[in-house]
Structure 1
Amino acid sequence: MDINMRGMRPPYQPSWIDKKTGEKRKSPTWWIAYSVRGKVVRESSHSTKESDAWKLLKKRHGEIENGKPVGPDVQKTTFNDLAAMLTNDYKANARRSLARVEDAINHLRGFFGADKAIEITSDRVTEYIARRQEEKAAASTINNELAALGRMFTLAVRAGKAASKPYITKLVLSNARKGFFEREQFDSVLAHTPDDLKSMLETAYITGWRIHSEILTREKKHVDLKAGWLRLEPGETKNGRGRNFPLTPRLRDALEEQLARTEALQKATGKIIKWLFHRDGEPIRHFRRSWVTACVKAGLGTRITDSNGKLVKAVAHRIPHDFRRSAVRNLERAGVPRSAAMDMVGHKTMSIYSRYAICDESMLKDAAKKLDILHRADQRDSNGKVMAK
């Protein structure tokens, strides 16, 4: 044999004594044995050829030398094992997106449910993408599902349940929303919004914080008027880090007005209200109907009627998440350094921040003016004087 296997125990065919005949019998299948962390592991080559067993033995020793998980357990890991590891990881870390990842797992299970981990190759992942595209799933939805699959393998490799992670290529997003609010548009929506939502929406517009998980969860204690901060505690944000937003004059006005309303309500009802934003002292859970109505009245929505002119439904042309994009754009317009802007809004990576920092026409025109000033400064005569002003 031309394969260098010096120091390795050679493959073997297990033998035993037949209890009925007393004869010695030998398995036609070749097996290998190797040591992992001091423990002898025996594994079938599933082949009657000794050369196949030698190749498998060499492969296992190579994996051991490279620190990769090896052994029959790796071969037995199923998709359901991977899914369970991901679900447990989300539960252990109290991730608020558990419901979304469980939905992703359900779609993945419909395709990979009968697979072992070693069978989920890059080719199989590509087949999955094609299947989901046939089902008209959005590119962003497919990417979320691929991210869940990738996380499964990361956990499995770390736990020694998978030898490697398949190469997973995400789709290029072409359906990213690009909704923004100009200040006058926002003011128009605000004018048609119920009083118990005004300060909350003003805060969302200025800070760009996530409304349901980061703004509606604020309590009065999170406002520090003296130091000038609105606070998010560590563990309350999507990336797990705490966050402080400085109180701009408009933000301070909005929060002071909200605190005054709350104080007046406490005196009138005799009950203590801990929430910063609330509806008659109770947490705000939903405000979609008020939102759609305000957008339509502000000219940022559409009333759909039947042939008799009866209202069928109203559709808003903006969503509350547009405040996040608007806040990023406002910070860009103000010239705030991106590192500071990312901390203020809560973007962990530059790639995510850049998806929100989309230049609009006014920003491009402003850039053109600055470029023109530079070009004019470069137009000098032979004496070095500026020729054009």
Structure 2
Amino acid sequence: MRGDGRVFERGHRWFIQYYFRGKPVREPGGLDGRGAKSEAEARKRLKARLKEIYGDRFIGPQAERVTVDEILDSYSAHLKQKGAKSAPGMDSKLKAVRDHFRFMRAVDITTDQLRTFINSRLAEGKAPATCNRSVQYLRAAFRLAQKEGKILRLPYFPTLRENNVRTGFFERHEIETIVAHLPKTIDDIVRFGYCSGWRRGEILSLRWEDVDRDAGEVRLRAEASKTGEGRCLPLEIGELRDVIERRWAAREYSLPDGTSGLSAVVFHRQGRPVKDFKRVWAAACTAAKVPGRLFHDLRRSAVRDMIRAGVPQAVAQRISGHKTASIFNRYNITSDTDKREALRKLEAYRASRPVPASNVVAMSRPS
């Protein structure tokens, strides 16, 4: 019968065939992965396979051979093929996962083993958020493998509770002190971030073809945006326009042969895009007596100050590029003016409520 499968002989070796989800599966009948030497051995193998299927524990011969390393390779290739922004740095992000699970079969990965991996990372001094990212990358790789039919089931991927919401904000005088300790070009990157609330990568991606000085606007290309959506920034603020004009004047750079070139990118070092300035940023923050501050604090500060200035939340989101209002809840960004107005309205409401006449008769105290 179809549901019972069958055994058959080929070249003095026995093989088995059974059905899973309506499709025939053939494999060697031996327990060692090779053809069985006898019909009895093959029937024993077939019986074990049918028991797995009926008990909803079937994995399959192909999935049994897939290793974690192969799954991670496929995941990295998938990201590169679709042009994901995370693709270039994914190999380094997956290194810890590879080192721990490299030679293990995917079917052998259990939730307990994942917890062991997390604990080993914590023992190395890694933050819970870092551990969670590693687990999330592994989970994404497993899900892709499942979609591609390489594995049938996924283990439960545990994660740690994170409490790493950063709440750093800059005041104007702190920005002025920091930029005073920064080299040229980097100081303008900081000023642009403080005024616009744009992400560091978005700022560094700007090319002169994105800037319309006559119309007074800067356009962020969709491919350069974290959200995949482009947006336009008017240069109405004098400081933003000043940054663009300074960078326009600094387009020219010297070449080794004594000639000069014009940079295609707005923020450059000798014609090459600025990519990293963590060291000079950290040194400037230390010199300004605000050590440990993040460039991303500029983004939070811009949004907070826009709200304080009375800019509608939806407009602030369109400028900064926040797709949701979560930042306003996460950092409790709200205008003090709004709070005072709310309390005034509460007081006025309560004062307008009629006070019912009291039925209590005052009693005189005995002398």
TM-score where L is the length of structure 1 = 0.72
Q: What is the rounded CA distance, in whole Å, between the counterparts of 1:223 and 1:293 in structure 2?
A: 31
Q: 2:4 aligns with which of 10, 17, 22?
A: 10
Worse-superposed segment, 118-127 or 80-89: 118-127
Task: Give the SS at the match of 1:9.
Answer: helix
Q: Provide the secondary structure at the position in 2 that maps to 1:235.
A: helix
* Contact 1:329-1:358 within 8 A present in 2 as well: no
1:369 is matched with 340
Matched, 1:205 2:194: yes
Q: Distance in 2 between matches of 1:270 and 1:375?
A: 66
Write the distance in 1 (CA, Å) between the matches of 2:323 and 2:198: 13
Match of 1:164, SS state, is coil
Structure 1 counterpart of 2:363 = none
Return the match for 2:331 from 340, 350, 358. Answer: 358
Are the structure 2 counterparts of residues 347 and 42 from structure 1 closer, same or farther at C-alpha, using a change threshold of 3 Å?
farther
Alignment of 1:202-281 (within 5 A): 202-211=191-200, 213-262=201-250, 271-279=261-269, 281=271
Q: Distance in 1 between matches of 2:236 and 2:52?
A: 66
Deviations 1:268-315 (A, max 9, x none): x76433221234555334444543453344332xxxxxxxxxxxxxxx
The aligned counterpart of 1:328 is 303
Question: What is the identity, as a one-letter code, of the residue corresponding to 2:3?
Answer: R
Using the TM superposition, give the Cα deviation of residue 105 of structure 1 relative to its aligned residue in structure 2, in angstroms. 1.9
Amino acid at match of 1:202: R
The Cα of 1:84 is off from its aligned counterpart by 0.5
Partners of 2:139 and 2:93 lie apart in 1 by: 12
Q: Any conservation in 2 of the 1:208–1:323 contact (CA below 8 Å)?
A: yes
Q: One-letter code of the match for 2:4? A: P
2: CA distance, partners of 1:162 / 1:260: 55
Does structure 1 retain, via aligned residues, the 8 Å contact 2:218–2:235?
yes
Cα 1:320–1:57 shift into 2, 3 Å: closer
Matches within 5 A, 1:143-182: 143-182=132-171
Q: How far off is 1:83 after superposition?
A: 0.8
Q: CA deviation at 1:16?
A: 6.6
Helix, strand or coil at the partner of 2:118: helix
Pair 1:293–1:122, CA change in 2 (3 A):
closer
Determine the C-alpha separation between the residues in 2 that align with 1:35 and 1:51.
Answer: 14
In structure 2, distance between residues paired with 1:341 and 1:172 = 30
Say whether the 8 Å CA contact 1:101–1:145 is kept in structure 2.
no
User: What CA distance in whole angstroms lies between the structure 1 residues aligned with 2:121 and 2:313?
Assistant: 36
Contact 1:156 1:162 in 2 (8 A): yes
Distance apart, 1:249 and its partner CA: 1.2
2:54 is aligned with 1:58: yes
SS at structure 1 position matched to 2:4: coil
Per-residue Cα deviation, 1:286-345 (whole angstroms, up to 9, x for no partner): 444543453344332xxxxxxxxxxxxxxx332323222323333444465555544433
Residue 40 of structure 1 pairs with residue 24 of structure 2: yes
In the aligned structure 2, how far is the partner of 1:32 from the partner of 1:264? 72
Query: Quick one: structure 1 residues 237 and 45, their matched pair in 2 at CA, closer, same or farther if it must change by over 3 Å?
Result: farther
- Going from structure 1 to structure 2, the CA distance change for 1:276 and 1:40 (only over 3 Å counts) comes to same
1:382 shift after superposition? 5.9
Q: Which amino acid aligns with 2:171?
A: E
Deviation at 1:171, TM superposition (A): 1.9
Partner amino acid, structure 2, of 1:320: F
Superposition deviation, residue 383 in structure 1: 5.7
Q: CA RMSD in A?
A: 3.7
- Distance (Å, rounded) in 2 between the aligned partners of 1:164 and 1:337: 47
SS for the counterpart of 2:73 is: helix
Indicate which of 289, 295, 301 corresponds to 1:299: 289
Residue in structure 2 matched with residue 109 of structure 1 by the alignment:
98
Q: Aligned in 2, Cα 1:195/1:169: closer, same or farther, shift over 3 Å?
A: same
Q: 339-348 or 138-147, which moves further after superposition?
A: 339-348
Higher mean C-alpha deviation, range 184-193 or range 92-101: 92-101
1:86 aligns with 2:70: no
Q: Secondary structure at the match of 1:48?
A: helix
Contact 1:45 1:53 in 2 (8 A): no
1:379 match: secondary structure: helix
- Contact 2:308–2:335 (Cα < 8 Å) also in 1: no
In structure 1, how many angstroms separate the alpha carbons of the residues matched to 2:104 and 2:6? 30
Percent same amino acid at aligned positions?
A: 28
Task: State the number of aligned residues.
Answer: 340
Structure 2: gaps (5+ residues): 32-42, 356-367
Shift of 1:121: 2.6
Residues 51-108 of structure 1: CA distance to partner in whole angstroms, max 9, x if unpaired? 6443334357x99xxxxxx742222221011111111022223344345422232211
How far apart, CA to CA, are the structure 1 residues paired with 2:314 and 2:19?
Answer: 51
For 2:280 and 2:112, locate their aligned partners in 1 and report how far apart those are by CA, in whole Å. 47
Residue by residue over 1:214-273, the C-alpha shift from the partner in whole angstroms, topping out at 9 and shown as x without a partner, is: 22221122112444432221222334332333334145433443255236879xx76433
TM-score (norm 2): 0.76
Alignment partner of 2:24: what SS? Answer: strand
Which secondary structure state, in structure 1, belongs to the residue aligned with residue 225 of structure 2?
Answer: coil
Distance 1:94 1:104, change over 3 A: same
Contact 1:45 1:56 survives alignment (8 Å)? no
- Which of 65, 68, 78 is the matching residue for 1:76? 65
- Stretch moving more, 39-48 or 130-139: 39-48
